[in-house]
Structure 1
Amino acid sequence: MLIRRPAVVVCAAGLLVIAGGTAGLLLTRHSTAAMRPPPLGVAALPAPTGPVVAPPPQVLEKPAPAVARPVLLTIPLIGVRTKLITLGLTAGGELQVPSTTTVAGWYTGSPRPGAIGPAIIVGHIDSLTGPGVFFRLSELQPGDRVYVRRADGTTVEFRVTAVQTYLKDQFPTATVYGPAPYPELRLITCGGAFDYATGHYLSNVVVYTTEVS
C-alpha cells in the first residue's frame, strides 16, 4: 500500500530533482559532499563533498565493443517497461536525473548495456502522486532477469547477482561505478527508511546484474 508522504522532495537513485512536483529521485540533499569524477589516472577517490554521488570516469584498457544505445528497459517480474532517456552530468558535476518519475535514464558516461563495464540506469522510486518507475526495484532477487532493448533492435539480457541497500553517506562509489571485466548493469533508486523531518529517503538501492551469455 502506498503511504502518502508530505509535500517534500524525495529521491530515487543518487541525484537531486526539484522540478514540477517530482519527488522520488535518486540522491537527495545531504550534508556529505558530492562524489565528483576524479581526473583520469587518479586512483584514489575524493571524500564525499556534496548532495550527489556522481560516478567517476571509467577508464578501459581496451576499447569497448561498439553496441547501439539503449532505448527500452524491461523487468517482467516487477512490471517495469520504460523507455530510456539519456542522462549526463550537471555543470556542478552531479549526475542528472529524469525529469519525470515515469521513465528511467541511462547515464551516458557509463558503458552502453552489453559493452564491457558497468552500465548505469537510474530512476525514481515515487513522487507526491504515486509510485515511480523503480518503486518495486528492491523486490528483485538474484537470478531474476532484466532486459535492455537497443536502438538497432537487439536485446541484451542481464541476470541479477545482488541487491544492496546503502546509507547515502556511505554510498560505495568505487564499487558501483568502478571498472568491471564483463558487461554489467547497475539499477539505482532510493530506498530504506524515509525521514519525514527532511523529506528524504536515507538510503539508495542498487541492483547488480551481469549479462547472460
Structure 2
Amino acid sequence: MSLARLARVVPVVLIVLTGCSSAADRVSHEPATGAGAPDRTAVGGPSAGTPAGAGRHAAPVEVEIPSIGVKSSLMELGLNTDGTVEVPPPDKGMTAGWYTGGAAPGESGTAVIIGHNDTRFGKAVFHDLEKLTKGADIRVRNSLGESARFTVTDSESVSKDFFPTEKVYGPARGHALRLITCDGELDADGHPVNNLIVYATLD
C-alpha cells in the first residue's frame, strides 16, 4: 500500500484507524490491498509528514516477547486507500504487523508494531500484552538476521477517543518501539473501547 497519501495531507494530525477486533468481530470489513480487510475498531495514527527511519536497509521479520510467550512473524502494514492504517486481518490474528510509515525497529526514530488482542477466531498474538512489566525484553529480528533488543519502559491503556497520536507515532529521540493492541470493556457494538500501548527503548 502506497504511503504517498501521507505526504499529500495538510500538516495536521491525521486520525486513522489501527488495532484489533472484538472477540465477536462484529465489524464490517472492506477489501484492502496487501494485508487484507482492515479492522476499523481502534483509533490512532501518524501525524502527516512523520518521517520514516533514516538509512533503512532491512525490514523487521519477527518479534519475540519471551516473558509472555510471544514469537510472531511480522507482516508489513501500510495505509488503506482511505488513509486508514492497515492491520492484520482477523484470520491472521496470531501474526503481528509492522507499520512501514515509521522507523524499522532498531533504527533511529519511532517504530510501531500492531497486533490483535482477540478476534472471532479466539485469542490473538497480543492477548497477554497487558502482562508486560517495566524491564521486560522485546526482541525484533530483521531480514538480515540482525536482532534488536528493547526494554519496556512504560505502558498505558487509553480511550480510543483520546488516542495520544503524537506520543505514539511522533518523532522520538533515540530508538523507540511502540506495541499497540485493543483493551478495555466492549462497547455496544462489541468493540473494545481502549487501546493498550507499550513503550520500549533500544538497549
- Structure-1-length-normalised TM-score: 0.75
1:174 aligned partner: 166
1:138 is paired with a residue whose SS is: helix
Given that residues 67 and 112 in structure 1 are in contact (C-alpha distance below 8 angstroms), is that contact kept between their aligned partners in structure 2?
no
- Structure 1 residues 51-96: Cα deviation after superposition (integer angstroms, max 9, x where no partner): 7422123238xx7243421000000111100000000011111100
- State the AA in 2 paired with 1:200: H
Task: Output the CA distance in 2 between the equivalents of 1:129 and 1:158.
Answer: 30
Question: Which structure 2 residue ranges, 5 or more long, are not aligned?
Answer: 1-21, 32-37
Question: Which structure 1 residue ranges, 5 or more long, are not aligned?
Answer: 10-15, 20-24, 29-50
1:88 aligned partner: 78
Structure 2 counterparts to residues 137-176 of structure 1, below 5 A: 137-176=129-168
Identity of aligned residues (%): 41
Q: CA deviation at 1:17?
A: 5.3
Larger CA Rg, structure 1 vs 2? 1
Between the two proteins, the alignment pairs up a number of residues equal to 173
2:69 aligned partner: 79
- Structure 1 residues 20-77: Cα deviation after superposition (integer angstroms, max 9, x where no partner): xxxxx8751xxxxxxxxxxxxxxxxxxxxxx7422123238xx724342100000011
2:167 is paired with a residue whose SS is: helix
1:8 aligned partner: 26
Task: Output the CA distance in 2 between the equivalents of 1:205 and 1:27.
Answer: 16
Structure 2 counterparts to residues 102-117 of structure 1, below 5 A: 102-117=94-109
- Structure 1 residues 130-173: Cα deviation after superposition (integer angstroms, max 9, x where no partner): 10000001111110000000100110000000011100000010
Match of 2:197 among 193, 206, 213: 206
Q: CA deviation at 1:18?
A: 6.4
2:88 aligned partner: 98
Q: CA deviation at 1:129?
A: 2.5
Structure 2 CA distance for partners of 1:64 and 1:120, relative to 1, 3 Å: same
Given that residues 113 and 179 in structure 2 are in contact (C-alpha distance below 8 angstroms), is that contact kept between their aligned partners in structure 1?
yes
Task: Output the CA distance in 1 between the equivalents of 2:141 and 2:175.
Answer: 15
- Structure-2-length-normalised TM-score: 0.78
Match of 1:131 among 123, 132, 140: 123
1:36 aligned partner: none
2:197 is paired with a residue whose SS is: strand
Given that residues 145 and 158 in structure 1 are in contact (C-alpha distance below 8 angstroms), is that contact kept between their aligned partners in structure 2?
yes
Q: How large is the RMSD of aligned CA atoms in angstroms?
A: 2.2
Task: Output the CA distance in 2 between the equivalents of 1:52 and 1:5.
Answer: 17
